[in-house]
């Protein structure tokens, strides 16, 4: 288990995380310029295709068009969110949209079974409350009937979250116990602790994961929640990994919760025979060739 800190005040998380974000963006800018791309001042390339190894598959495009994240749409003259070099959606597409049959990537994720149907991007599973359900970056079903939901993070986790108190407040209105109603007693307890401040997370978006878990549980009792994140070998990364451990210790068993860094996933893919070398080369150059990241 990763080392954790007893307090978030041992270092300036805001300054540290900004430095980490800048380091990632610097690497992404260097990659873009090496390919003759000209990002704008915010790190956005001209088109979505510029930010992807291959254009979106029809299934992926349909998923993003259904989702509520507006990843593909320009707004007020601004480029689409997926044009951002630091886009988590683009990272997820570059890694997962390659896998029509999904065999090797399931193996790399440590999942047994065969894909049933297709990978879904921006999948929504209603939580039972009004409003638009949160989007899961990737979801798919295995032949065993297990529903797998993947939450993907690139740089988003580096935004410090000093308070989660209001994020789940509406889930407790009228004394409701939404998680417990679907057999998730530990998640109910964690949601309560996050809401009243008894449990805090600086980098891990625990409320988002708990919402995803509720949506998955309402859809299918046999599910697995997976957290795939871009890791950093510095104090920010250490604290983030510690918070993942804390989350897993509290609710991991009932959510079949798993976590894996993108670096670990990439290394696992590299060991599997027959994986497209052009695909691996793109991922290496784009995301994984900086020695300051996970070895």
Cα separation of 169 and 248, whole Å?
22
- Per-residue pLDDT tens over the stretch 72-101: 988 888 899 999 999 999 999 999 999 976
Structural domain spans, the chain: 9-288
Higher pLDDT, 287 or 2: 287
Residue 26 pLDDT greater than 90, yes or no: yes
Cα separation of 225 and 220, whole Å?
12
Is beta strand 223-229 parallel, antiparallel or unpaired with respect to 115-124?
unpaired
- Per-residue pLDDT tens over the stretch 210-219: 999 999 999 9
Task: Report pLDDT for 132.
Answer: 83
Task: Provide the mean pLDDT of the chain.
Answer: 91
Cα 124 versus chain centre, distance: 14
Residues 6+ apart with CB under 8 A from 5: 239, 242
Residue 277 pLDDT greater than 80, yes or no: yes
Mean pLDDT of 273-283: 96
Mean pLDDT of 133-155: 96
Residue 294 pLDDT greater than 50, yes or no: no
Task: Report pLDDT for 14.
Answer: 61
- Per-residue pLDDT tens over the stretch 152-187: 999 999 999 876 778 999 999 999 999 999 999 999
DSSP 8-state symbol, 84: B
- Ranges 34-48, 59-73, 80-94, 248-262: which has the least confidence: 59-73
């Amino acid at each position: 288990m990763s080392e954790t800190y007893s307090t978030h005040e041992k270092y300036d998380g805001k300054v540290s995380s900004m430095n980490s974000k800048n380091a990632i963006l610097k690497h992404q800018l260097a990659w873009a310029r090496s390919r003759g791309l000209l990002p704008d001042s915010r790190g956005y390339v001209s088109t979505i295709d510029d930010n992807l190894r291959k254009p979106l598959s029809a299934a992926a495009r349909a998923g993003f068009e259904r989702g509520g994240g507006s990843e593909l749409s320009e707004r007020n003259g601004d480029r689409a969110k997926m044009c951002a070099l630091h886009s988590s959606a683009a990272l997820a597409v570059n890694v997962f949209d390659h896998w029509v049959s999904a065999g090797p990537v399931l193996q790399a994720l440590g999942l047994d079974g065969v894909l049933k149907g297709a990978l879904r991007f921006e999948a929504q599973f209603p939580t039972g409350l009004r409003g638009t359900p949160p989007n899961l970056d990737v979801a798919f079903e295995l032949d065993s009937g297990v529903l797998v939901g993947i939450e993907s993070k690139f740089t988003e986790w580096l935004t410090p979250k000093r308070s989660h108190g209001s994020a789940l407040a509406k889930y407790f209105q009228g004394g409701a116990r939404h998680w417990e109603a679907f057999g998730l007693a530990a998640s109910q307890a964690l949601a309560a602790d996050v809401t009243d401040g008894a449990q805090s997370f600086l980098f891990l978006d625990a409320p988002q994961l708990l919402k995803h878990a509720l949506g998955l549980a309402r859809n299918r009792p046999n599910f697995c929640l997976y957290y795939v994140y871009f890791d950093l070998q510095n104090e920010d990364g250490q604290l983030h990994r510690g918070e993942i451990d804390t989350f897993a210790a509290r609710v991991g068993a009932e959510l079949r919760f798993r976590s894996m860094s993108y670096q670990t996933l990439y290394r696992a893919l590299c060991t599997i025979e027959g994986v497209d070398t052009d695909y691996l080369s793109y991922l290496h150059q784009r995301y994984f060739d900086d020695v300051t990241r996970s070895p």
